[in-house]
Amino acid sequence: MTVVHRTLRGDIVFAFALALALALAWMVREVLMMLYVSALFAVVLTPVVKFTGRMRIGRWRPFKGTAVYFLILAMAAAVVAFGFLALPPVIKDMREFAREMPVRLPALMERLKHIPFADSLNMDDISAKVEDFVSNAATYILLSITGWAGKLADLVMGFVLTVYFILEGDLAYAWLLSFFPTDGRDRLDKALRRARIRMDKWLIGQGSLMLIMGLLSTIVYLSLHIRYAFALGVLTGLLNIIPVLGAAVCVALALLVAAIDSWQRVLGVAIFYVIYLQLENSYLTPRIMKNSVGLPGLSILIALLLGSALAGVPGALVSVPTAVLVAVLVDEFLVKKTAE
């Protein structure tokens, strides 16, 4: 066995190299975050791809070798179908709103004057600001196109990286393990495989919560005759993949659409969400997520807060599976287990 002697010069060089690596990592932190999110989604989607590839119709396996491409086509078809079904009525109403806004605005401001405590507000000033906002709405939208285009480009790149990780994930995984000593490589491999099993269960649990919320929301929207009921139901189910923040966006969007028609519908939507969120937080999420990821509710909440603070929506999106990974590694390498 070769004995390596540490020297002061070597320690200084190592410290500078580590500081340089951390500085470079901070400079490209957004790219590293995209890589991490893509790799994590590839881990949880790979079992879906493998299951699709094993599907049989008699002796024929229609998706053998093409399961990942079938998944891409299915997702693209779903997005296109959602756009054709959901966007036309929204665009039509927005055009009518923009055309009728100059006529309805004076009547709306006149109604606001009769609201209690409205005397303390300068309605003329508010009316002027609203008119300026409406007249400059096109400019605001044009200025925001660049930001949305950048987010869309990041989303597309993350999707492409996820596909590549699914296709070449085994090679990347073997390359990652090669950086660790051979005596601890098997132990790390077993720990990561255990974490992957729990992440797969997280995907099933999260998918169950998304499906339940999407179906119930669509039923409530249809019963209350809310505009764009199907579109809002689909968005509600999809956005539920973002813990806490997704539900907040769903509530705000549904209340805004319901307010277009009547305050009774706003009250109905609000009552539904209050009841459902209580049911989800007190019964569904603890049972489904605890059984899926094996983490207490406090750990999941802390993971959500840390993920949101560090990386916003992407951080919240991967906070729970990251907490699962950290919990498995800590239990394997840091927790001292007493001999029974």
Q: What is the pLDDT of residues 180-215, one digit of tens each?
A: 888 788 888 888 888 888 887 877 788 888 888 889
Task: Please enumerate in sequence order all residues whose Cβ is within 8 A of that of 167, keeping only pairs 6 or more positions apart, or say none.
Answer: 68
* pLDDT mean across residues, the chain: 76
pLDDT score of 340? 46
Of the candidates 92, 104, 148, which has an alpha carbon nearest to the alpha carbon of residue 130? 104
Q: What is the pLDDT of residues 250-266, one digit of tens each?
A: 788 888 888 877 888 88
Q: Which residue has the higher pLDDT, 36 or 104?
A: 36
The answer to whether 268 touches 239, Cβ cutoff 8 Å, is: no
Least confident of 189-193, 275-279, 336-340: 336-340
Strand partners, 57: 60
**Residue 203: Cβ within 10 Å count:** 18
321 token code pair: 């599976």
Residue percentage of the chain with pLDDT more than 90: 1
pLDDT score of 131? 54
The answer to whether 241 touches 317, Cβ cutoff 8 Å, is: yes
4 token code pair: 């390596």
d(CA 212, CA 233): 11
Q: Report the predicted TM-score, pTM, of the whole model to 2 decimal places.
A: 0.67
**Cα–Cα separations (whole angstroms), residue 317 to 101, 176, 217, 222, 239:** 38, 24, 21, 29, 10
Asked if residue 244 has pLDDT above 70, the reply is no
Least confident of 161-170, 283-292, 323-332: 283-292
Q: Find tokens 């006529």 and name the residue.
A: 103
Asked if residue 126 has pLDDT above 70, the reply is no
Top-confidence range, 47-51, 76-80, 196-200, 218-222: 218-222
pLDDT score of 20? 92
Task: Please enumerate in sequence order all residues whose Cβ is within 8 A of that of 308, keeping only pairs 6 or more positions apart, or say none.
Answer: 244, 245, 315, 316, 319
The answer to whether 202 touches 293, Cβ cutoff 8 Å, is: yes
Angle at which helices 29-53 and 137-177 cross, to 10°: 70
**Residue 11: Cβ within 10 Å count:** 10
d(CA 334, CA 192): 15
Asked if residue 321 has pLDDT above 50, the reply is yes
d(CA 136, CA 305): 37
- Based on its alpha-carbon atoms, the radius of gyration of the chain, rounded to whole angstroms, reads 26
**Would you give the DSSP letter of residue 208?**
H
